[in-house]
């Protein structure tokens, strides 16, 4: 899943490097014509053979019909005219790779065609397709210039040079015809600009979705890392303490050593179960967990485990009703705080105080110290993990030495999830 997301992100970065026209050239099949724009192996793209063939055939056949309809008014089609029509249509084959050159070439071919007195007809379709492609590819100034050149050229041919050009005896075109031609040019540019804006919007949305997917993946990785850290740090700390007790009492008090080994066995089994539950979410993303997430209702278990590690824990207050996410965060914060007392404090007493105040749960975990500097193999990420859990719920964490000695962890967690407020 991560690999697919990374590939999608790579394609999106390549899209931005190629520019706004890349969606037309290399976009998904839903946004390109058949046989066009689909990416091939090695980064090459297919030429638009199908659409070019259809447009060229339509222009050739349509011009033949137009010539019959304008017989006696315009010059009849000859081999040179058909060559111009074919060249203009065939040039569209390269319109995605060289949009500006193709647009300039089609405008020149059409002006030459009209200047030779050949019939009006679907030849303008070639210019329309070339203009649309150029605008969508981001060459807006070149498209406006080319279309302005076409209109001005037609204006000169129809009102200034018509006496010197075939057909003989031709008269000036009506100004209404020029207004229609100008309207056609503006409408074509407007439609092309709209298509370009839509494609850029589509690209931005794609980029935003890819960024959101990466952000969700990062958040999920952080969540799993916090869960694994909290589960393993607490369990291994208890196992470490009990292993030390068992080794110390193995000869002098075998029964007490047996009790320590039994605690190690039970705690390792519990840790394996919780790790398996976390890893199951990786194997089946989106599936419901097989066991409920731990919460403050399991606080008595933490007290028993701490007692097995030689730490006496006093609990004051009752836990209010919390949302599942806040309940899990509160449990993990208490678990990590007690684990730190076992690993780093010389005190064998700790206090957990819970109080509901101003729509939030106030959790306070105290020990009397002093710090021993001992480390049972922890990663040093415990406090960072607690802060991340609290921040994810719009809560806060304060942790540090108390003025009178010892250490205090104070967490404030909202009772209502932030999405419900």
Cβ-count burial 276-300 (b if 16+ within 10 Å, e if not): ebbeebeeeeeeeeeeeebbbeebe
**pLDDT tens-digit profile of 206-232?**
999 999 888 888 877 777 777 777 777
What are φ and ψ of residue 359, in 5° steps? 70, 20
Q: What is the pTM of this model?
A: 0.49
For 384-388, the CB contacts below 8 A with 24+ separation are 385/225, 385/226, 385/229, 385/230, 385/332, 385/336, 386/332, 386/333, 386/336, 386/337, 386/411, 388/222, 388/226
Report the pLDDT value the prediction gives residue 255, as an integer from 0 to 100. Answer: 81
CA–CA gap between residue 104 and residue 107 (Å, rounded): 5
CA distance 32 to 339: 59
For 66-93, write each residue's pLDDT tens digit: 999 998 888 999 999 999 999 999 999 9
Residue whose pair of structure tokens reads 């222009």 in the numeric block: 59
The rounded distance, in Å, linking the Cα atoms of 238 and 172 is 100
- Count the alpha carbons within 13 Å of 262 in the hemisphere toward its beta carbon: 7
Instruction: Give the chain's residues under pLDDT 50.
Output: 1-44, 375-379
């Amino acid at each position: 899943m991560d690999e697919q997301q990374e590939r999608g992100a790579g394609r999106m970065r390549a899209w931005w490097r190629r520019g706004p026209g890349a969606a037309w050239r290399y976009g998904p099949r839903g946004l390109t014509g058949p046989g066009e724009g689909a990416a091939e192996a090695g980064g090459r793209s297919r030429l638009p053979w199908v659409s070019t063939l259809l447009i060229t055939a339509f222009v050739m056949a349509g011009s033949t019909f137009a010539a019959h309809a304008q017989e006696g008014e315009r010059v009849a089609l000859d081999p040179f005219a058909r060559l111009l029509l074919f060249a203009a249509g065939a040039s569209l084959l390269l319109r995605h790779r060289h949009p500006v050159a193709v647009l300039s070439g089609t405008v020149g071919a059409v002006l030459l065609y009209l200047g030779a007195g050949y019939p009006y007809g679907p030849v303008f379709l070639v210019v329309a397709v070339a203009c649309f492609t150029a605008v969508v590819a981001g060459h807006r100034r070149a498209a406006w210039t080319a279309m302005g050149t076409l209109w001005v050229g037609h204006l000169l041919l129809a009102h200034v040079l018509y006496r010197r050009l075939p057909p003989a005896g031709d008269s000036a075109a009506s100004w209404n015809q020029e207004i229609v031609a100008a309207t056609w040019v503006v409408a074509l540019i407007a439609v092309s600009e709209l298509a370009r804006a839509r494609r850029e919007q589509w690209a931005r949305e794609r980029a935003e979705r890819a960024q959101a997917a990466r952000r969700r993946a990062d958040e999920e990785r952080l969540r799993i890392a916090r869960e694994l850290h909290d589960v393993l740090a607490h369990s291994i700390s208890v196992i470490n303490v009990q292993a030390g007790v068992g080794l110390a009492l193995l000869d002098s008090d075998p029964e007490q050593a047996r009790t320590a080994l039994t605690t190690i066995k039970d705690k390792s089994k519990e840790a394996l179960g919780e790790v398996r539950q976390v890893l199951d979410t990786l194997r089946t993303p989106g599936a419901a967990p097989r066991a409920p997430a731990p919460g403050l209702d399991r606080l008595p278990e933490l007290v028993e485990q701490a007692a097995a590690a030689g730490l006496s824990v006093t609990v004051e207050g009752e836990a209010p009703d919390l949302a599942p996410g806040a309940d899990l965060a509160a449990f993990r914060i208490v678990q990590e705080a007690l684990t730190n007392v076992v690993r780093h404090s010389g005190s064998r007493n700790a206090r957990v105080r819970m109080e509901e105040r101003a729509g939030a749960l106030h959790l306070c975990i105290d020990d009397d110290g002093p710090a021993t500097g001992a480390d049972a193999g922890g990663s040093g990420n415990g406090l960072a993990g607690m802060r991340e859990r609290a921040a994810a719920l719009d809560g806060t964490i304060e942790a540090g030495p108390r003025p009178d000695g010892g250490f205090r962890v104070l967490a404030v967690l909202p009772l209502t999830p932030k999405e419900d407020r």
